[in-house]
Structure 1
Amino acid sequence: MTTGTRSKTLEPIMATDGTTRATDGPARAPNGTRLAGPASEQRADYEPARPAGAVLRGATLADQGDYAGAEAVLRRAIRLGEAAHGPDDPRLAPPLRALAAIRAARGGLAEAQALSLRVLALVEDGARWQEHERRSEQS
């Protein structure tokens, strides 16, 4: 028979300086947000640092009916992506597309159309660049 002791599972946590350490609690973001568990358990002010995370967070907020929150998360991700990679980077396409869908759902059709056209241009430019790179490698 056991004496009531149980082993704790150490979970990795990312520190603000980018290093990883172990903790005996759930993983948390630098702002204290719990990273483990469903999105519904995350704090409302949690904003992911990566565009893919922002798209997922925006979709979660939109599914919960918080369209303004979803827009804010996506606009921030777009702003950060533009600052890091420039306004013509194809990696901006997913958050731009998600923002276009939310704007269309909220009745902002003109902005949704402009965002969708921007996504199309980014994807076409990315495809042209990949084709150019492929042909350059073959020569």
Structure 2
Amino acid sequence: MIKRIFADTKRCNGCRICELRCSFEHDRVFGTKLARIRIIMNEEQGEYKPNTCRLCYKCIKACPENAISKNEKTGAIKIDHELCTGCGKCVEACPFNVMFLHPIKEKAITCDLCEGDPQCVKYCPEKVLFYTTSQEFKKLTN
């Protein structure tokens, strides 16, 4: 069974440490626009929802350059930036709005699960994020 990142949204306070840690892990800078995980904020209602790749793989089918594949070890999305042209077809195909074009490199980016050790999960101070299977997540949050 494939693991992915799940969120117990009731715990999220919108601190965005997950976004900052993600951008640092991948780009060595702290910037929420570079993060592969995004917090959807509804400040009026005090709701914050971490949003990351659900591993539906629609982006793989959408890529005309075959630059996107599945990491056989983790199940995560792998993007070959040598092949990626930045056309944005994968961004359009993503039903969860978690595929982006890197604002500087203009290549596709999404969560790669940090090779099976997601840093956003590790550094979340409120323990909102879980790297697990859907069955285990249900057990943990019930």
Tell me the TM-score normalised to structure 1 length: 0.23
Point out the structure with the larger helix share: 1
Point out the structure with the larger strand share: 2
Tell me the TM-score normalised to structure 2 length: 0.23
Larger Rg: 1 or 2?
1
Q: Which has the higher contact order (CA 8 A, sep 6+)?
A: 2
